[in-house]
Structures are given as structure tokens and as C-alpha cells.
Structure 1
């Protein structure tokens, strides 16, 4: 059964779109397919585009309907658009209108739309009302619009931007230094203060504290509100404007405002201000940039003088607009998040989700049916379970930059205790050059030279049947992957992740020699967890076995199905070929057909079918014509490729073309978890592979909970 939730903003600039993103993420984590619906185009077009939806109508069109007294006609168009966009969703988040000078009818439209869509309502307020009595009255009046706080549609409220800095008129001013934030009440205190919450019918779903960086646009985004010429781009694409300072003072009086994240706006002939900004940059205060006004540009000599600051990334731009109108236009940057600013979107979602009351939402959001494991749900569960297990994962490629960054992220999130095998001096230098902070815990750098001798005797004992001796063991342990594998074999760590710079053979061979396979495993294979836009699929084998025979292919299918089930994915296994069913013939097709027969015979409990072409396996419309009687076609979750050439090519094409996070490859069949990375792995790929490895070393079944 589909559920619809309308977010009703109580005033302007409540940040209701941020709450919408947070709610959709929460729903996705629970495996629910969430849709976003924008009834009227507003100042959140980037949000609408990000979720693949389109407004039902433009604002001018709605204004015309309202002036003509034709609200019902407007609602008819909105509902039609809603039905088209929300047809296959479990829940739909509808962003209501915010009341402002252009939309005095917002409350009327929101109320009518909630009835038309049979939507429950969540109010979105800010902490504008300092007096609790005023806040309570405001919420009661808003709830009455939807039938009251006890028996109506209004489920509760989210208070956003709590503690935001405001000017004397109460307007949020994120761009200025001289604004004061407010003390944020605790959720428990506010629930006790406001009578509307005491009955338990109307809920306080969360208090989202103000965080200036979430509102901060990138320096490069200035060109969205001002015509600018870039004199030096520097790090304009990554630095953010947290404050704006008008450089009208003398340099000596600018010291207190030349802080990280400050955009200095000054006349183009104020070389002294530009030089002061450069000194601040060199002193370790990365400014958002310097914006020179009046169309005046610094001399070539001045630019040479500030060259050290430019090398550090200080952006310098110039606009023909005068200083005052420039400063007054800059605040227009803050409410708008460009579609390509994925970092800001992600930060907003993380912040909102961290402060929403999950259990309260669970009480009101309930959907029956099979749980769909979305990418967000899969990644969320990986991190959740890995954090609980508190495992140690060794990273033999300890000085590889992507690996170091992934280790920092994993440590900060508590995913695992990461041990980097590297020269500590190299790591210190890398951290300084990249501007990364060393995590206070879960991050350890081990110099391989200090521990190699600890494993020589054990290495000789394990390989003595192959003629291993101390001299040869010492030589082999010079390889950090071999050393890390010995650490795992000796139970000094719980798992190993490598492959960012080493080949698959470099990672797997030591594991086969020292860790060995499980008693019931006939071979080692691999799977990728492919985080596609709507679901997570399992691809196997894309990394290990070049050309498996029918028996081996059947074993790979069984291993992959079990891995899918262990990580919460209902296994429906498609054996891939260039032919579907009995439509083709040839040695390659026959191998897949025989492998399917063997797998079914060995594991009759599995839902498995083949040969199937990829489109028949994954696309319902194609399956209906090519394999109408297949229990797998059109809804496969586990894809088994006939050989390494096909599998590796397909996974990389999907990963790169669709910007998909691929977690893995996860090796199957070893006694202890050793996981290989693609040499083209992204930092996110490594982070989630670390989490996956930690879980493998614990209890995989925990992920299904």
C-alpha cells in the first residue's frame, strides 16, 4: 500500500526541501522505494531534477488558476501528474508551498492538495518563535488547517535551522559575521514545554540544528548571481563561502574577519586588502576567495606578490558591479543548491538524517510487501553492522592515497580499526599535503620493517611442505600483501583489503597459499555488489576465474546466491549467455545450460534459471516476450556471467557509465576474508569493501536483521 506525506512549510526559508531529502533517505535505508513530487515549480529545481521528478505546473500557472478561482482545475492537473510519477513507489514525499508574497494562497493549496492525495502531513518550522507559547499557538493553528493535532492529517513537526544566526528583524543571515545564533532547546525539553506534544498524537520528529557550512555555496557559484571574471580559479570549485566580509577597513583591522570560509569583497583598487587576504591564506586560513568590485583589476606586480597564496588555492575574481550592490546580491546564493553540488546534497542529507527521530518515523511509515534492498539501505546496513562488530582490517597498500583516504573515512565512521602497512613518515607527509586530519582512533600506521620478523617462523611452518626456509620466507615477507596475509592467518587482524595498486593475482595467491579455502569450497570466486539506482544486484564472477567449466560455474552460482542471501538480497539467479532458453546453441550456451542443471540439482532450494540474456534477466518487458515462464527473468538479483571476460567488462561498463558504486570484489570460499579491489577503485568503493570485509569476519547473518 502506497503512503503519501506532504511537507508543509510554516513560512519562508524553512528548508523543507532538506527535510524531504532526509525523509527519502530514511525510507531508502528501510528498503522502501520513495518518490519525490513537486506540485508547483519553486526554488528547488535542483532537488526535483536530482530525484528525477518534474513539477506539475509553474508558479505563474498556479497564480492564474487562483486568481480565476479555479483551484479544483489546478488540483486535477497536480493529481494527474502525481499519479504518473508515483505509480510504483512505496511512499511519496510531496513538497508543499511555502507562504510568501508570491504565494499568499499557500496554506489553502496545501490543505486541498493533502486531501486530494489522501496525504499525511508533516509540518516544517524554524525556531523563529522564541516564546514557547507563541510556538505552540503557531503549531496548533497550522495543525487545524489539516483537521487538528489529534484526529487530523497532521502527524507532527520537524523544527529545522534551530539556532540559526538572525539579524534584528529575525531574518536568517548566514553570510554575515555579526549575527548571533540562538540556544537550541533539547528535544525532550521542547516536548515538555509545548502542550501540543503531550498527548502523543502530534509528534516532534526532530530538531535540526543550524550548521553554517550546509548553507555555504562554492566560491565558483558566485557566477550564478553575479557576472564575474576569474583572475585565478584556484580551489574555487571546492572552497565554500561561509561568511562575507566587506573589505573597507584597513588591513590591520581585517585580521579578525580573515578566517577560513570568508569571502572578501573589496574594490579592485584596494591592493592592500588583497595582500592582507593573501597573508591570511599563507598563514593557514583558507579563505573562500577575494571578489574585486568595480571592474578594477590588480596590477601584474601585485599578482606576482601574492603568488604564494595563489599556489595554495586562493580564488580571485572580479566583477564590474560596485561593492554595495555586489554585497546585497550575494545572499541569493545561500538558499539554492546547484544540481551538480553533490557534496552539499550529501552533507545536508547526512545532517538531517542524523537529527531525525527514526523510531518516531517508523511508527507512522509502514509498508507491507517484500523488502527492497536499495543501495542506500545496503550501504547503511554495511556501515551499521560493521560498526557493531568492531573488527580490525589490514590494508597492505598503506601509502596509496585512495586507500589512506578510505581508511580515514572508515576510522571516523567507526566502520573498522584500519591498520595501514606503510612508512609512518610517508603517511605524515601525505596527510599534510592533502590537508587530511589523522583520526584519533581506529587508524593505525604500522611500519612493515618493525613486524616482519614476527612472522618468519610461522611462514616457514605453513609452507615447509613446499621447501620453505627462513631466507626465502624473509624475502617473501618483503611483499606487504604477503605480510598482511600472514597477519590475518595468525589472527592478528580480522580481514584484509588490497588491490588498489596490486593485481588480483597478487592479492589472491598469498591467500590461497596461507589462508586456504573452506572445507566445502571447491574453488575461490568473487562477487561485486552493484549499487544500481533502484536496487543492489550481485555480479559474479568478475575477478577470479577466467573460463570456468560447467561444474565450476554452478559452484560460482551457488556461492553467489548464498552471499546475496547473507547480505539481505533475496537471491534470484540468472545464468547469463548470449542466448535465452532454447533459442541458441553452441559450446558456450551449452556450458551455461549444463551449469544451470547442475546448480538446480545441487541446490533445489534456489530460484535459478538459464541460459538468459542480460536484458531478459533484468528487464520485465523483455522477459515477458523472451522468457514469459521463467521464475527469474525480469527480476533477477544475482547475475552469473559465463566467463571472466564477459563479467569484468560488464561490471566496469555499468560502474563507469552509470556512476555506480561497486562494492567488492568480495572473495568467496576462503577460510578468512581477503578482498580484492579493482585498480580503478574509487574511495567509496574501498570504504564499503572495508565494511564488507569486517562483516565477513563476523556474522554475515547480522545484516539481514
Structure 2
């Protein structure tokens, strides 16, 4: 099937950060269309895998193999450009037949002169019938000096003339890596070059330079300098090195020159400087470093090795055989890459694109119509967008867990929610810096903060006085991170809480039962999973909380689940599941479901509900036509209510594994304010989704009262 959406992303020279733009375009299309492809017309070689293509193929919205997404190599183009073009068109067509849209990424200017290469890219775009999104570099082609608006105008005039000569169509222009204070100047300059464009009004967008996106990782630095890791946390090798400090001087002169995120080059025979640098990294009064490279090929003395080992520092320390000059030169010449395994760069790139490129305008230009299906990726994007729109404040008690820190960094960079982390602030910020995370906007509170402890204890003692809780008992209780976070929600210092990465479900939700309590018309707290299938999203409840609900509790679960479905844009059609359909069976379990269905109809006559009904009759229109032909729910159910926890928990896991569904949850429902639990095996993406869900739940409630603590910390 031919697709209506194609876009060709190319640049006029190297080092423009084209991969950032390609990732942003791919992500934007994936939120609207079910099947998005990637195609690389010209790759470097068949022997070395193309890292840009691998980056894009790793995106959740793409389901294609590497080899099928490559056209030809540079050698093929040199040997016979016409034959290479024919091969490109043929291989592109094979990819396009599998997709609703294809993002085509032009070549990288690593082989031939710019005019020739741009001309060939324009020719390919014209032959593919793909409009060009032109990426212009806001810095000189070697990545050095920043360009002015006038210089960008000249570049735009030359490059667009090249596109016209090859009959390519220009969709828009993105100026990337622009000096932040020159964004408007650059847009104006490029706009002037396009004023008489034969393509009509062409949008121009500009993205600012960010040092992090072009910074190499510590791992890349060690590879470039031929260094071998001696000690330190290997997880920190993926941190970006944003500077280099050559420490070929005395200790007292090195320390003032240390900078945040720098690689420090230390002569291998200067053990005093090595020890001082490691201690400085551990200190709260010095910058957090990315790593140390010991150069010169010197072996550390055994006693120095023992001393370093005793410090137990996570800071990566490596050594090589190069001299100081060659080591520093190799580091400064190492360029960073936007790779699939760099979550911080990935988040930053998408944040820059979303902030500075009008995604809706881009989709209109490409004439993209929303898909009739909802894929897991599309649904997850909708969650983040809705959460971003309400801007709620979520507390995450487990600030000592790396997954929580990574999720918090993503949430903050993407602007999804405001975040408070609980724990020791210096330790959390130090660990975040070591992991290369951006937690600058996170609020960090200590559960043992005296003023907050007194305030929370007084409130907790008042709430639990009927259970014999004294003020002194309350003082101990509220320092537990789950209670502390719950009290923040209770008092309006946060809109919701997400916990459970390191704690049990009971530890997370017991404080909510005691403090937050249930909604007035809800008898029980229950849970649902949002099951994102290949083409739609279903609601499963209860799969996590109530082992064997009564008929009254089952009715509560059904009504709460229908309300949750509505919160997330799912039209509720409720199936009360059993092992029989309609009047075909009997027995205590069936009668419980029948009674629960009657209660739902009595309490919510506006809801579409059917029960008892078997799963196949609820989900499959063909089976429904035979078993319940007149039902408005059978065959079309969106909310599935299981008769007990055993059935619900096993069914959601079976569907998750066998159908490849994305299970989002458990989402707690029935509480006055949102508290949500995580699986202790939760991945970073699961945590991000749960925080987004919690923010959306909070957004449907009335705004919390702003409370100022004794320290003056507003909500």
C-alpha cells in the first residue's frame, strides 16, 4: 500500500545535528500514525553499521530490520550514480509498502564535497517524491564559531538554490545548534532568503545549541584515548564528558580548575593529584567529575591502589600509555553522538524539538490524518501530553533508587510534571550528577526535616487519634518515606504520589488508606491496568488489590473502573466477567457476578454494562453475535471486570505476554487523591507512565489548597 506521508531530512554540510531533527520528526509522526518507517538512502558502508539509522530504528514506533532500511553505500554512488539512484528508489518502495509514513535521512557529508553531496540528496528526494526538511547548522561546518543571521541567510540562499536545480520540493527549514540569543535573528535571516521562494510560504524553525548533545560519553573518551578502566562504577561510563581539565600541575593549582562534568587528565606518576581529585569529587564543595584518565603508562604504586580502593569512589578511573598532549587532543577531538543508549541525550533532543518546532504545523504540512487505531506508543504519548497540560506536582519517595532518578530526569526534561524526591539532598544530587542526569528542577526534601516532621506528625496524630496514635508515635511514623509522601499529598504540598520501586504494595498504599481515605461514594480502593494492545486500549480490573470481592465490592470496582476509563479517553462499555454468559450457567460465583451487575445498573443506569459474560463473548464480535446478539457491550467491551484477583492477575499477565500488550499500572482508584504503586521490577518507562497517569488523575480533581510549610516551601 502506498503511503501519503514521506519526508526527506537532509543538511547542507556536516555537524548540523541532523539526527536530533530526524528523531523529533519520527517521534511526532509516531504519535499520530501506527506504522512509521525509516530509510537511509546512502550509508557509510556495509561493514560498519550506521549509528544514526540504529538510533531511529530503536524508536518504539519503528518495527523494521536494519538491512531493509539501507539503500546503497558511498562506493555504489561513486561507481554509478544512476544505478545507485535506481536501487534507492526500489528499496525505498519496499519499505514504504509496510508503513503509513517514512522518514528518510540524507547522507552525512563524511565522504565527498558538500555541493556534490547536497545535489545528490536533492536528486534522491525528487525521485522519491518526498518534500525536503532542510537542516542548516548554526555553527561553522567544523562545529566551531557561531553564525549570525546574515551568515545563515547566505547558507540558505546557496542550499535552496541547489534544491531548486534538482527539482526538489522544500517543506521547511530547521536551523540547528544556534546560539540561544540569536534564535530570532537566525529565523529572520533565513526567512529573508526564502522570501521569493518558488515554494511559497516555507516555515523556519530554530533550535539552540546545547553542549550536552555534542559531548562524548566517558566510554567514548576512554575508547578514543586507548584507556583501560582501573576502577569505578561502569554505569557511569555513559555519562557525558562536557569538558577536559589537564591536571599537569600541583594539587593546589589543579583543584580550583576542576569543572562540572569534566574529564581530568592526570599524569600517572602524580598520585597526590589523583587522590586529591577523587576526594574533591566526593566532596560537596567541588564539582562532580565525569572521570579521570591517568596518562603516561605509569603503574600505580600498590599502596596508592589500596588507598583508592579504600575510598570506594564510583568515579571512573582509567589509564593509558599516551602523553598528556596526545591524551588531551584525542579527548577534544572526540565528538558526541545522539545514540539509542543515551537516555539523557534522547530526552534532551526530544525536548528541544518539541519546544522549538511546531509539531502540529509540521503534521499539517505533511497532510497527516490521525490514525483510526491507538497503538501503545500513541497512547503513551497521549498520557504525557495530557500530563504536560495539567502540570501537576508529584512526590516520589524513593529518591535513592537510580530508576526513580532517571525517570525524574526524563519527566523534568520533557516538562511532564513537577517532581519532589525524598531523601538526603546532597546524596541524591551527587548520584544524579554521577549518572549524568538533569535534576536541577527537582525539589528534594529530607523526611527527617524537623519542621516538616512536626507539622506532619501533628496532622497524622489528629487523623489517627481514634486508633490510639500519640504525638510521639506519629513523630516516628511520618519519617517513613511512604507516610511522609502521603502526608505531603494530604496537606496539598503535592498533587499525587508514586512509589513502590523498592517497597511492597502494602507499604505504599497503607498510608493512603489511613490518611487519604476513599471517595464518599466508593466502598473500596481497587486497581486497574490499562492494557495497550496493538490497535486499542482496554481497562482490566481488579488485578492487584482485592483478592475475593463481594458482589457490592465488585460493583464498586466496575463503577470506579468505568470512571477511570473515562479519565483516559476510553468510552466505558463494561463486561462483568464470569465462566458463563447470560442465563446459561448457575452457581455461587455466577450469582455473585449477576448480583454485582444488577447493583451497577441500579447505581449507574447511564453505564453500558453486561454480565455475567465470558471473555470471548465480551471481546469477539463473532462470538457475541452468537451468544448475545442484542447486547451493546458484547463483542465491544472496553472495561473488563474480573470476578476475583486470581483470575484478573493471571489474565492481564497472559495477555501481556502472549499478545505483546503494554500493561500500564496498576492504577489505584477510589482514593480522594491519587496515590499509585509501582512494581518492584518497574522499568524507567513504566515509572514515567505511572507519574503521567497520577498527574492526569490529579488534574480531574479540584486544585489542591496551597499550603506553606514552616520553612516557606510552597506546594
Q: Is the aligned partner of 1:136 residue 2:144?
A: no
Once residues 552 and 10 of structure 2 are traced to their aligned partners in structure 1, the CA distance between those partners, rounded to angstroms, is 59
Distance 1:259 1:512, change over 3 A: closer
Once residues 612 and 342 of structure 1 are traced to their aligned partners in structure 2, the CA distance between those partners, rounded to angstroms, is 39
Q: Which residue of 2 aligns with 1:565?
A: 566
Once residues 112 and 589 of structure 1 are traced to their aligned partners in structure 2, the CA distance between those partners, rounded to angstroms, is 69
Deviates more, 1:201-210 or 1:330-339: 330-339
Q: Deviations over 1:148-180 (max 9, x none)?
A: 89x9621221111224xxxxxxxxxxxxxxxxx
Q: 2:38 aligns with which of 36, 53, 58?
A: 36
Q: Which residue of 2 aligns with 1:73?
A: 86
Question: In the TM superposition, what is the alpha-carbon distance from 1:347 to its structure 2 partner?
Answer: 3.0
Distance 1:643 1:390, change over 3 A: same
Q: Which residue of 1 aligns with 2:302?
A: 300
Where do residues 361-400 of structure 1 align in structure 2 (5 Å cutoff)?
A: 361-370=362-371, 378=379, 382=383, 385-386=386-387, 389=390
Question: In the TM superposition, what is the alpha-carbon distance from 1:70 to its structure 2 partner?
Answer: 1.2
Distance 1:632 1:140, change over 3 A: farther
Q: Is the aligned partner of 1:611 residue 2:614?
A: yes
Distance 1:442 1:329, change over 3 A: closer
For the Cα contact (< 8 Å) 1:25–1:376, is it kept in 2? Answer: no
For the Cα contact (< 8 Å) 2:597–2:609, is it kept in 1? Answer: no
Q: Which residue of 1 aligns with 2:108?
A: 98
Deviates more, 1:561-570 or 1:549-558: 549-558
Once residues 21 and 499 of structure 2 are traced to their aligned partners in structure 1, the CA distance between those partners, rounded to angstroms, is 38
Where do residues 241-390 of structure 1 align in structure 2 (5 Å cutoff)?
A: 241-245=241-245, 254=254, 257-265=257-265, 268-269=268-269, 271=271, 274=274, 277-278=277-278, 280-281=280-281, 284-293=286-295, 295-304=297-306, 306=308, 311-320=312-321, 329-330=330-331, 333-358=334-359, 360-370=361-371, 378=379, 382=383, 385-386=386-387, 389=390
Once residues 274 and 29 of structure 1 are traced to their aligned partners in structure 2, the CA distance between those partners, rounded to angstroms, is 49
Q: Deviations over 1:241-278 (max 9, x none)?
A: 22345555666765565423333446645556645644
Distance 1:300 1:152, change over 3 A: same
Q: Deviations over 1:495-542 (max 9, x none)?
A: 455555665456656656776655654644212346789876544322
Once residues 296 and 244 of structure 1 are traced to their aligned partners in structure 2, the CA distance between those partners, rounded to angstroms, is 20
Question: In the TM superposition, what is the alpha-carbon distance from 1:209 to its structure 2 partner?
Answer: 1.9
SS at match of 1:38: strand
Once residues 574 and 37 of structure 1 are traced to their aligned partners in structure 2, the CA distance between those partners, rounded to angstroms, is 43
Q: Which residue of 1 aligns with 2:143?
A: none
Q: Is the aligned partner of 1:160 residue 2:176?
A: yes
SS at match of 1:36: strand
Once residues 596 and 148 of structure 1 are traced to their aligned partners in structure 2, the CA distance between those partners, rounded to angstroms, is 72
SS at match of 2:355: helix
Question: In the TM superposition, what is the alpha-carbon distance from 1:14 to its structure 2 partner?
Answer: 1.5
For the Cα contact (< 8 Å) 1:419–1:444, is it kept in 2? Answer: yes
For the Cα contact (< 8 Å) 1:612–1:633, is it kept in 2? Answer: no
Q: Which residue of 2 aligns with 1:693?
A: 694
Where do residues 190-201 of structure 1 align in structure 2 (5 Å cutoff)?
A: 190-191=187-188, 194-198=191-195, 201=200
Q: Which residue of 1 aligns with 2:75?
A: 63
Q: Deviations over 1:327-359 (max 9, x none)?
A: 555466424345433333233323333332345
Q: Deviations over 1:587-637 (max 9, x none)?
A: 8996899699879976775799963479x969x9x999x99x999999986
Once residues 71 and 332 of structure 2 are traced to their aligned partners in structure 1, the CA distance between those partners, rounded to angstroms, is 22
Distance 1:298 1:367, change over 3 A: same
SS at match of 2:43: coil
For the Cα contact (< 8 Å) 1:526–1:543, is it kept in 2? Answer: yes
Deviates more, 1:42-51 or 1:476-485: 476-485
Where do residues 517-666 of structure 1 align in structure 2 (5 Å cutoff)?
A: 517-518=518-519, 521=522, 523-529=524-530, 538-548=539-549, 556-557=557-558, 559-569=560-570, 605=608, 611-612=614-615, 640-641=641-642, 643-648=644-649, 664-666=665-667
Distance 1:680 1:605, change over 3 A: same
Once residues 333 and 655 of structure 2 are traced to their aligned partners in structure 1, the CA distance between those partners, rounded to angstroms, is 38
Question: In the TM superposition, what is the alpha-carbon distance from 1:292 to its structure 2 partner?
Answer: 3.6
Q: Which residue of 2 aligns with 1:208?
A: 207
SS at match of 2:349: helix
Question: In the TM superposition, what is the alpha-carbon distance from 1:240 to its structure 2 partner?
Answer: 2.6
Q: Deviations over 1:415-447 (max 9, x none)?
A: 667778x8xxx6456546646798678666663
Q: 2:54 aligns with which of 33, 40, 46?
A: 46
Q: Which residue of 2 aligns with 1:112?
A: 123
Once residues 463 and 271 of structure 2 are traced to their aligned partners in structure 1, the CA distance between those partners, rounded to angstroms, is 68
SS at match of 1:11: coil
Q: Is the aligned partner of 1:448 residue 2:466?
A: no
TM-score (norm 1): 0.73
Q: Deviations over 1:33-89 (max 9, x none)?
A: 5433223334424314413442547686453255234144323333233225xx243
Once residues 88 and 585 of structure 1 are traced to their aligned partners in structure 2, the CA distance between those partners, rounded to angstroms, is 46
* Gapped regions of structure 1 (runs ≥ 5): 164-182, 461-467
Distance 1:605 1:477, change over 3 A: farther
Once residues 137 and 285 of structure 1 are traced to their aligned partners in structure 2, the CA distance between those partners, rounded to angstroms, is 41
Distance 1:409 1:190, change over 3 A: closer
SS at match of 1:106: helix
For the Cα contact (< 8 Å) 2:39–2:70, is it kept in 1? Answer: no
TM-score (norm 2): 0.72
SS at match of 1:667: strand
The two structures, once aligned, show a CA RMSD in angstroms of 5.3
For the Cα contact (< 8 Å) 2:461–2:470, is it kept in 1? Answer: no
Distance 1:673 1:443, change over 3 A: same
Equivalent residue pairs, number: 659
Question: In the TM superposition, what is the alpha-carbon distance from 1:99 to its structure 2 partner?
Answer: 3.1
Distance 1:124 1:574, change over 3 A: farther
Once residues 551 and 112 of structure 2 are traced to their aligned partners in structure 1, the CA distance between those partners, rounded to angstroms, is 68
For the Cα contact (< 8 Å) 1:574–1:639, is it kept in 2? Answer: yes
Question: In the TM superposition, what is the alpha-carbon distance from 1:409 to its structure 2 partner?
Answer: 7.7
For the Cα contact (< 8 Å) 2:394–2:496, is it kept in 1? Answer: yes
Q: Which residue of 2 aligns with 1:186?
A: 183
